[in-house]
Structure 1
Amino acid sequence: METGTFRGFEVALHDPGIGLITFNQPDRLNGMTQGMKRDLVEVLTEAQMDDAVRVLVLTGSGKAFSAGDDISGRPLDGSTGKQLVPDIGRGHADPIGTYSALRAISQRLNTTVRDLDKLTIAAINGFAIQTGMSLALSCDFRIASEDARIGSGTLRFGLMPDEGGQYLLVQLLGVAKAMDFLMRNRIVTGREALELGLVHEAVPSGRLLDRALELARELAEGPQVAMRMLKRSIYNAAETSFAGALDDIAAKTAVTDHHPDAREGIAAFREKRKARFNGG
């Protein structure tokens, strides 16, 4: 995975195989442009294909994770950031253009995150609104600062949670609570998000990144092949029958049972030591 400064974000790689993506436009609350989203998709695709990357952490700088789409029209600060993909038409000039732009650009960022085999952690440092909320909810783990602010807020403008937020909220909260959350334009703190079940942990803001990286190290040291297959089976189980889930996990177990990580795990248990999984 390429590291450095890109349009609207920075990428760093930490041992043992932790990719850290930091949105770096705090003056605009890390609002996202279409170009930034397409570059993020490219980086995420690189991470998927890079054996050196085991876990991804996404976070923001300043007061926001991401407060939504950047509609200011101003060019991104730090124009020296590398552009990974060429600019294309932004769409939205007419109904079919809006449909196309949502499906091909905005929604694709969230589907790319969800489709990664590698585990993802959203470290929600501040405002996570609309685009920011749906991106955070697309991640496998979410840790929020206690004073973060998380919500959709689109109805305030007569708009829709058009990047998949309604689906992700129904998955996490159920229909009744998702209805309340969206229809009443609720924006909750990190502590409230923990009570609702939107995030896994809420920590003091000064501890957020350290805690996210601590979790990332724990996950990165696990049996990567089994964990990636289990991740996919968990998401599949949410959308299939019991019989389908059983067949899915059996097919994946036929791979993982014969992987070197399984032999190492059994040997470590017998020898009463910590397993050293190779992640290959």
Structure 2
Amino acid sequence: MAAPDPAETKKSLPPRQGRPMHMLAPSHRHAHRISASAGASRHSPRAPAGTRRIGTCGLRLFDCLPYPIRITPNGQAQAHPPACTLPPHTPASEAPMFPTGSFRGFDIRLEPPGIAVITFNQPERLNGLAQPIKRDLIEAITQAQMDDRVRVLLFTGSGRAFCAGDDITGRPLPGGPALVPDIFPGHREEIGTYKGLRVLSQSLNTAIRNLDKLTIAAINGVAIQSGLSLALACDFRIASTDARLGSATLRFGLLPDEGGHALLVQLFGVARAMDFLMRKRIVSGAEALELGLVHELCEPAELMDRAMALARELAEGPQVAMRLLKRSLYLAAESTWAQALEDIAARTAISDHHPDAREGVAAFRDRRTPRFNAWLEGR
């Protein structure tokens, strides 16, 4: 018996309009979604012989797959993905290198196992930040986020300052290559000031806070105004006994415009943040520890050793789980109980099925130290 003409079969199908899917006969429910290879999109991978392609107009999950579906005799759909047509994942050893060296206003070096140390390098200006320097920092942070070599970012300063805020002297920019082209900063009128703050100044702290990777501020000296905001945007803060922290913008009749006030409210609550900002307080490292502004205090000679020890501890931990937990903690601070539970459940569904989780359980069972991050190291 001759096979039926596909064109005639198509004509005999009942119209779909007005007919609920469950009311169509089984053959009709599937036929309107199955096309011959000639009717498939020219942009889709060609179906191997013996398979039928599911169209994009159906209602089921496998309709969205970009590869052929085989319908088995019992009516089950089996996916047969072809060789991946996307560019393969580039191993970390072959990926473009995270920028290191001396740049305008800061130096970057990469220490094992994946610690990016960013040091503000203008001690004669107390490491003040001009707008072009902030844009370069945002670019460096963005590249760090996307580079698998980088696991932890550590910020510190040279000389007697961590960062004494914005450089408002108008002096020429320091030497060194730029990571991005300069743009006009605005500030000539109200709307220009607003745009400059949102696009440039606030974006730096937002970039730090939005990193999935963990961040540390090693506060070696003065950290005021935007320097304090930058430190508060980091996940961990270690201060030396030489540190001085505060936001004295009201001394100049200015506002703490880069988000530090919001970060202080999260740490202190409104009443204590009000006292700290309105009274233009600048506190010592010991006072900062007592207030909860920093997590740890040490002698100046020990600062970088302590900060690097913490960075190594964080870098050697299970990176996927730690990054998911970081995001969930910040979200929990702004969520209801129900939202926080929903979020951590969704993230746990990811981390529980990651190789690091299997390694952690196996190491516990075998009574050995786990070796996390094989996916990063090519093991």
TM-score (norm 1): 0.98
Unaligned 5+ residue runs, structure 1? Answer: none
State the alpha-carbon separation in 1 of the partners of residues 193 and 304 from structure 2: 36
Equivalences for residues 1-280 of structure 1 within 5 A: 1-77=98-174, 79=175, 81-278=176-373, 280=375
Unaligned 5+ residue runs, structure 2? Answer: 1-97
The structure with more helix, counted as a fraction of residues: 1
The count of aligned residue pairs is 278
Q: 1:72 offset after TM fit, Å?
A: 1.2
Moved over 2 A (4+): none
- Report sequence identity in percent: 70
Q: Which moved more, 1:109-118 or 1:83-92?
A: 83-92
State the alpha-carbon separation in 1 of the partners of residues 344 and 257 from structure 2: 32
Q: Give the conservation status (yes or no) of the 8 Å contact 1:25–1:76.
A: no
Q: 1:89 offset after TM fit, Å?
A: 0.7
Looking at CA atoms only, which structure, 1 or 2, has the larger radius of gyration?
2
Q: 1:197 offset after TM fit, Å?
A: 0.4
The alignment's C-alpha RMSD in Å is 0.7
Please give the per-residue CA displacement for 1:57-86, whole angstroms capped at 9, x wherever unaligned: 000000101000001111233x1x110111
Q: Residue 73 of structure 1: SS of its match in structure 2?
A: coil
State the alpha-carbon separation in 1 of the partners of residues 172 and 107 from structure 2: 17
* Matched AA of 1:11: I
Please give the per-residue CA displacement for 1:212-254, whole angstroms capped at 9, x wherever unaligned: 0000000000000000000000000000111000000000000
Q: 1:279 offset after TM fit, Å?
A: 5.9
State the alpha-carbon separation in 1 of the partners of residues 371 and 283 from structure 2: 40
* Matched AA of 1:182: L
State the alpha-carbon separation in 1 of the partners of residues 306 and 368 from structure 2: 25
TM-score (norm 2): 0.73
* Matched AA of 1:9: F
State the alpha-carbon separation in 2 of the partners of residues 184 and 196 from structure 1: 15
Q: Give the conservation status (yes or no) of the 8 Å contact 1:147–1:191.
A: no
* Matched AA of 2:302: R
Q: Give the conservation status (yes or no) of the 8 Å contact 1:223–1:279.
A: no
Q: Give the conservation status (yes or no) of the 8 Å contact 1:224–1:279.
A: no
Please give the per-residue CA displacement for 1:85-123, whole angstroms capped at 9, x wherever unaligned: 111111110000100000000000000000000000000
Q: Which structure is richer in relative contact order (CA contacts within 8 A, separation 6 or more)?
A: 1
